[in-house]
A and B are shown apart, each in its own frame.
Chain A
Amino acid sequence: MNARMIGEGLARAVVVFVLATVVLGVAYPFAVGAVGQLAFPWQANGSVIEVDGVKYGSQLVGQPFSDMKHLWGRPTVANATAFQGEDGQPLLWYAPENLSPASDEFAQRVQQRVEAIRAAHPDQANEPVPSELVTVSGSGFDPHISPAAADYQVGRIAQATGRSEEEVRAIIRQCTEEPLLGAIGQARVNVLEVNLMLDGVLDAVPNR
């Protein structure tokens, strides 16, 4: 290994780096962006649900819900420190925090969540709480919940909103996606979409 060999190697490495930066760092993402913006503009820009000029959130990012008139999602772990708006107002974002499911602290959290959920759902007193209502998702902002977890809340939502259980179930069904080919992935209910429908903001699920 002599100096000339090393010099030649470094020089060629720099050329490859520059070439890669232009082709893979600039041209490649722009090409994907061009296709995306032309063919799938709604998805390429964050799948934001917008009604009458108000942006109610992304179909793919969950929000914290605790209102009795709303469907509740997975427990979220949110913060308001990562981002600020243009006027300096704090904005909500998520950083997941998952405990070992074999730890005492986890057992305590589960216990607390079970108690809170049971207190809000007296009609389900004898039923166990579906697991997704007491476990934090991997992202901290799971936009979905299982049909079992949604079904558990139907009685409470019907009572709080004055709708019939059938109406609530119909809305949940509209916002439910089935597994791919019946087997890949899981059936899931989009919580934000259900709540926008319960509030009368949305009449149909966007882009499905």
Chain B
Amino acid sequence: MSPLVISLFEAAVLVALLVAVALPFSAYVVAAMEGAPCVARRVLGPLERGCGRLLRIKPQESMGWKRYLVGAVALTLVGAAGLFAILLAQGVLPANPEGFSGLAPDTAFNLAVSFATNTDWQPVAGETHLSYFSQAVGLAVQNFLSPAIGIAVAFALMRGIAQGQGAGLGNFFMDVVRAVLYVLLPLALVGAVIGVAQGTPQTLEPYETVQLLEPVGLDEQGNIVDADSPDAVQQVTEAVVPLGPQASQVAIKQLGTNGGGFNGANSASALENPTPLTNLLQCAAIMLLPLTLIFCFGRMVGDRRQSRALMAAVLALLAVAIVAVTAAEYSATQQLLANGAVYTGGFEQSAGNMEGKETRIGAGETALWAAFTTAAANGSSNGSLAGFTPLGQVVPLVLMGLGEVVGGGAGTGLASLLGFVVLTVFIASLMIGRAPEYLGKKIGPAEMRLAVVMVMAPALVMLAGAAVLVLVPAAQGAAGGTGALGFSNLLYAAVSAGANNGSALSGFVADAPWANGVLGVEMLLGRLIPLACAVMLAGRMAALRPVAAGVGALSASGVLFTMLLMVIILLVGALTLVPALALGPVAVAVA
């Protein structure tokens, strides 16, 4: 069998296993979030109630959409402000064995917004710029809170759709506490311990210094040369091994659709991702919550067929993406083949394009990860996307550009998907000449406006960001290329920030005020606009009186609806992205 077929078979098995786990897990998540009795609540209940008392939340205190939204925005902004302060003050804070100084304000702004919005774009590499305090107390805390906010908002929207007229959306702060306590923290603890066992560091000791078996030389400019080269003016005999609280951070970076690595190389670094087992578990962790939340929706509205329709659309889109990117990365470019001088077959090595890929992982599992990480708005990487083939780069770009619909971020993905569902219901109902209604709620102009803004906002934000970046003179120098290649790199950064993904093409190097500013604003808008729309839509839906389904009303759970939903998603994505794609990666591929 060809390596491509084997890899696709592996991917199919992994997705099937994930779905099989997500289905029962969603029952637990719904019980945890809705305050229903469950085994975990018997153990952790006192902690939950303690947090409730500290927050002065009365039992059964439920919020309307305004209070819910104020809470969600407040926690996002407080988190960003707190992280911003930590990053600025890094130099005087404890747990800084490497003695890193505080970050520049523009870098700190970008990084703080990035982690508070679940984006995890990183303008600087963690291991060379951030103290253990900044990583664990700063970034990792946002890695818990930002997905918890997303999960909370998703549940508010689900309650709004499911409940009778005038009921509240739940209590935002209780939802955050429950999402962390019952879902994110237990999973992260298990994942982190497995990570340490496999080789990911977890210590507060300073970085290790080790002997180089073969010293290297430095020339006058500080470039690495052979030790015995005539240009060598100095010898380098030792190397660094970055340590720190890495395992605890890696676990939550994957589970919470965050993606920000402890190290600049992210999960391509063997320190963050030491073995095929950790690679498999991290890859699965990327998709676990997005898929689980889709099943939660069916349970919340009391109609599992609704989840099945959404899940079918998501899995179909994901399958196309996986096949395309895996096939692209198993085909070596002419430049790599070098007229047959290089062997890229699969005997005793990974077949395909190994530029930017790790030996222990191989081309297939790197491609699969790239599809998962951009489908789920995670953004972590186990290889360098800059080393992907041009067509291999298009797949992650398209997945991000579609908005967070193919899984999406924790909670925000489900919300975006439901925005598309409302849009589809509206269009489909008009096509068959019925009044639009979804799950017994009439869809009016106000609901439509919110749904359209929710699905269009990320696309507009990312394209506007790309347009601004192109106009910045300094961006051309940082784009890592000229013409179509340079534009691809800029476009990728703008799309990644607007989609709250955070994955990066390493060709685009930018820790400069213009980049930090533009991308930071993009991340904020790309997060807060859809989030606000979701909560407002929840409020509108909750205010509507459920009506009995009329004769011939559109069913939102059949095969036909699933296909229509996919068409609408692809149409919106294509209309927004095709011109930019044609000028960027497609032009590179055909050049």
B357 touching A138, Cβ below 8 Å? yes
Beta-carbon nearest neighbor of A145 in chain B: B359
A186 touching B67, Cβ below 8 Å? no
> In whole angstroms, how far apart are the Cα atoms of A147 and B588 in the complex?
33
Pick the interface stretch among B377-385, B411-419, B564-572: B377-385
**Interface residues contributed by chain B, number (CB under 8 Å):** 127
> In whole angstroms, how far apart are the Cα atoms of A143 and B457 in the complex?
43
The verdict on A16 contacting B238 (CB below 8 Å), with A137-B357, A188-B360 known, is no
CB distance from A42 to the nearest CB of B (A): 9
A180 touching B280, Cβ below 8 Å? yes
CB distance from B548 to the nearest CB of A (A): 35
B212 touching A92, Cβ below 8 Å? yes
Which residues of B lie under 8 Å from residue A140 when comparing CB positions? 265
Q: Mark interface residues in A67-103 (1 if CB within 8 Å of B CB, else 0).
A: 1001000100011111101000111111111111111
> In whole angstroms, how far apart are the Cα atoms of A64 and B344 in the complex?
23
Interface of A is mostly: mixed
> In whole angstroms, how far apart are the Cα atoms of A122 and B343 in the complex?
17
Q: Mark interface residues in B188-203 (1 if CB within 8 Å of A CB, else 0).
A: 1100110011111111
> In whole angstroms, how far apart are the Cα atoms of A182 and B513 in the complex?
48
Which residues of B lie under 8 Å from residue A98 when comparing CB positions? 355-356, 384, 386-387, 506-507
Which residues of B lie under 8 Å from residue A43 when comparing CB positions? 196-201
B276 touching A179, Cβ below 8 Å? yes
Within 8 A of B (CB), among A17-37: 17, 19-21, 24-26, 28-29, 31-33, 35-37
- Determine which of A45, A58, A129 lies in contact with B210 in the assembled complex, contact meaning CB atoms within 8 Å: A58
Which residues of B lie under 8 Å from residue A28 when comparing CB positions? 140, 185, 188-189, 248
B349 touching A147, Cβ below 8 Å? yes
A110 touching B214, Cβ below 8 Å? no
B248 touching A57, Cβ below 8 Å? no
> In whole angstroms, how far apart are the Cα atoms of A28 and B274 in the complex?
22
Within 8 A of A (CB), among B167-184: 173, 176-177, 180
Beta-carbon nearest neighbor of B193 in chain A: A35
> In whole angstroms, how far apart are the Cα atoms of A156 and B44 in the complex?
62
CB distance from B573 to the nearest CB of A (A): 24
Q: For chain A, which range describes its interface: under 10, 10 to 19, 20 to 34, or 35 or more residues?
A: 35 or more
Beta-carbon nearest neighbor of B171 in chain A: A12
The verdict on A100 contacting B507 (CB below 8 Å), with A110-B336, A147-B348 known, is yes
Beta-carbon nearest neighbor of B382 in chain A: A138
The verdict on A131 contacting B354 (CB below 8 Å), with A63-B212, A98-B384 known, is yes
CB distance from B335 to the nearest CB of A (A): 4
- Determine which of A45, A111, A142, A146 lies in contact with B243 in the assembled complex, contact meaning CB atoms within 8 Å: A45
Q: Mark interface residues in B204-232 (1 if CB within 8 Å of A CB, else 0).
A: 11011111111010100010101000000
The verdict on A61 contacting B239 (CB below 8 Å), with A98-B356, A131-B336, A138-B358 known, is yes
The verdict on A13 contacting B236 (CB below 8 Å), with A48-B241, A139-B268 known, is no
A39 touching B197, Cβ below 8 Å? yes
Which residues of A lie under 8 Å from residue B358 when comparing CB positions? 137-139, 142, 144
> In whole angstroms, how far apart are the Cα atoms of A47 and B362 in the complex?
22
Is residue A192 contacting chain B, with contact meaning CB distance below 8 A?
yes
Is residue B271 contacting chain A, with contact meaning CB distance below 8 A?
yes
- Determine which of A29, A64, A134 lies in contact with B248 in the assembled complex, contact meaning CB atoms within 8 Å: A29
Q: Mark interface residues in B398-421 (1 if CB within 8 Å of A CB, else 0).
A: 000000000000000000000000
Which residues of A lie under 8 Å from residue B539 when comparing CB positions? none
Beta-carbon nearest neighbor of B188 in chain A: A28
Beta-carbon nearest neighbor of B78 in chain A: A13
CB distance from A152 to the nearest CB of B (A): 9
- Determine which of B247, B340, B349 lies in contact with A131 in the assembled complex, contact meaning CB atoms within 8 Å: B349
Beta-carbon nearest neighbor of A181 in chain B: B276
CB distance from B374 to the nearest CB of A (A): 16
Among A1, A14, A99, A137, find the residue whose CB has the most chain B CB atoms closer than 10 A. Answer: A137
Which residues of B lie under 8 Å from residue A59 when comparing CB positions? 199
Which residues of B lie under 8 Å from residue A1 when comparing CB positions? 66, 70
A70 touching B138, Cβ below 8 Å? no
CB distance from B484 to the nearest CB of A (A): 11
The 5 A-B pairs with the shortest beta carbon distances in the complex, nearest first, are A185-B276, A138-B268, A146-B349, A98-B387, A138-B383
Q: Which residues of B contact A (CB under 8 A)?
A: 6, 10, 51, 54-56, 66-67, 70-71, 73-75, 77-79, 82, 98, 125, 128, 136-138, 140-141, 144-145, 173, 176-177, 180, 185, 188-189, 192-193, 196-205, 207-214, 216, 218, 222, 224, 226, 234, 236-243, 245, 247-249, 263-265, 268-271, 274-277, 279-280, 332-336, 338, 340-344, 347-350, 353-362, 365-366, 381-384, 386-390, 481, 485, 506-507, 588-589
Identify 16 new A-B residue pairs, CB closer than 8 A, beyond the known A9-B71, A100-B507, A132-B350.
A5-B66, A32-B193, A32-B247, A39-B197, A58-B271, A93-B128, A100-B390, A101-B389, A111-B338, A114-B342, A131-B342, A147-B348, A148-B343, A185-B279, A185-B361, A186-B361
Some 11 contacts from A to B, beta carbons below 8 A apart, are: A13-B77, A16-B176, A17-B79, A45-B208, A58-B208, A78-B216, A82-B240, A91-B239, A135-B357, A139-B268, A199-B213
